[in-house]
Amino acid sequence: MAKVRDCEAKTEEILLPILAEHGFELVDVEYVKEAGKRYLRAYIDKEGGITIDDCEVVSRALSDRLDEEDFIEEAYILEVSSPGLTRPLKKPKDFERNLGKMIEFGLFTAVNGTKEFTAKLTAFSDDDITAELADGTQMRAERKNIRYIRQAFTDEI
């Protein structure tokens, strides 16, 4: 597991200056194994959304730098893309951007028999989030119990 995190961290370190040069934002980096193949994925964004051309520019620059650094021993497929509509909330900036907006989140451990919620994000910290449910009550969820969290596709609770 440490190897995966090390690859992701090193890739992020290489990627951040490339993104800064183009005015893009890093959403996430993941190094995963799927169907027997390794994938190194970078999710990027910018105001107004990412285009295919943006992904291509970043992919080429990142690929060149990864070849220079050569720190990943096994074969992998590099993918650079937009995070899409199901963009996860991960960084403080993501949570700030979504304060007062509707979010969807799933928990590992149920609260009152429920693991999935749609609510308005009202506060967050490194340790937890607070969201307003449909009945107006505030719900606090520990970040370590959150399986996923993303902006909702609805404006209603």
| Residue 133 CB coordination number (10 Å) | 13
Q: Model-level pTM?
A: 0.71
Instruction: Assign 157 a pLDDT band (cuts: 50, 70, 90).
Output: low
Out of 3.30.300.70, 3.20.20.150, 3.40.50.300, 3.30.565.10, select the CATH number for domain 2-81. Answer: 3.30.300.70
Number of neighbours of residue 17 by Cβ within 10 angstroms: 10
Assigned architecture for domain 92-151: Roll (2.30)
Among the listed residues 49, 112, 106, the one whose alpha carbon sits nearest the alpha carbon of residue 81: 49
**CA geometry: angle 82, 84, 89, nearest 5 deg:** 100
pLDDT digits (tens, 9 = 90+) for 110-122: 998 999 999 999 9
pLDDT of residue 64: 97
Domain boundaries, the chain: 2-81, 92-151
pLDDT tens, 49-86? Answer: 899 999 999 999 999 999 999 999 999 999 999 988 77
Instruction: Give residue 2's pLDDT band: very low, low, confident or very high (50, 70, 90).
Output: low
Q: Higher pLDDT residue, 154 or 84?
A: 84
In the DSSP assignment, the letter for residue 87 is: P
In angstroms, the Cα distances linking 28 to 43, 88, 91, 116, 154 are 5, 9, 9, 23, 24
